[in-house]
Structure 1
């Protein structure tokens, strides 16, 4: 009995200093933890708490029965999704648009950042940065409205210019062949400038001595760019590419929804717009949740795979 009490006392003595040390550390950095709290609360409330709703994908949700009272149906909605004739059309359209974004949009902020970094006049550089940030704050409704103004067949600026040089009018807005190009160009115009922020920050951290050493070795501006600048931001590019793959199937609802019409729907309907149609307009909440969960699982697999490949080739990766 005495030995038992002695062991308990020893354990309390060993644990108490650790707890007091932990509390002291928290108190010492209380302002840092206070600044961290809003971000943590945001993710808890808007990212993790809504995950409870993923259970709808495995239920036949009925509003009058409630969330807990609805019947479990297992993988019924996923089977329906994979056997739906529209599934392969949705998958093809989503993958093609996502591929366009990866091939054409993802390199755009990198190239623009490299060009801005080569500008030596600081005032001009700041003005350019401010101008290219502005489109990010413009809503997609306004962006699509601008696109309609420029590309409409009835008095649009682009078609008027084509007619002025002797060409024929092109129906950009209702043509299935131009839909994906229009979507990609709008994304590039709106988000490229905002995407340069991280790359410019990475470029600002490049050691200037590396450039001086390269100059002494006879390297010109292009050689410095290829052998100093790009390798210095390679890890940033890889990390952002991995994170980009996590949202690979998120092609954007609002923009595509505003650009869709009966003529281009065959090449423009994607999972995001399909979820809206099935879930909001038709009230198929469980089925639309299953579609959204399918997208999330694909994104998760892509992140894990790309991070593994990055580690395999000696890069840092995300984790």
Structure 2
């Protein structure tokens, strides 16, 4: 059988493609290349250029490659942009999901893994976020991810499709320098960018009810994210009709100040002191995953620590600027 990986030429998607291929799976990529790059893909992996919003393209790809399973990673993911462009995010993320699922049902696709997000939880007031923690997204991005989960669950139940929604926490790192994160919307590349410019990293708020006053997050290596997809794909293949929603994180909180400290040490700029700004609206004090369910359902757990994330991300960053 073949798996279609939407958004497979992007940062997370390309890691999933490499991991799936290494696990012996046949994979095909559908990507509009708006942010992805074809050169990220392993040799021999077919690339179909197009959008999940184009039902004719999606249907043609599903039939041409006899697709039996889908890993859906394509979509928009910047929180601030989602606030300023909610219609765009609902179209790309929710309508894209609807079009893809409609084509999948028509093509008798029986397995579907969805790239969701911890943003569905909003501002949880708990030490560890479990899958039973109430979902209360606070921005359109999180809303669209939760709507995607609802749609997937309903379609899976109605049509006997095995489904898994994977709620990523804070993704960082790179498996190889060529696959690194080229955006600057996440903390690690944002700090790299400021250090390169000779500027101090910014910390938004140091008066939270946390040990050092800065926000605490669960950072997970993108390589671990990729292996979680492989494990989910294998579980859906082995257990037709199964329905899962799983947190994908390390289950360990790291404060923003602690992460910046690791970054400045890895980059060799230990004398840099962060610049403290006021809190950003909507930033919860602590969001850390319980990954126990992913371990029990998939036999998966994260293998990489924070330093390895930063070291691999820094190597990739330096390669792109050399």
> Normalised by the size of structure 2, how large is the TM-score?
0.23
Tell me which protein shows more helix as a share of its residues.
1
Q: Which has the higher contact order (CA 8 A, sep 6+)?
A: 1
Whose radius of gyration is greater, 1 or 2? 1
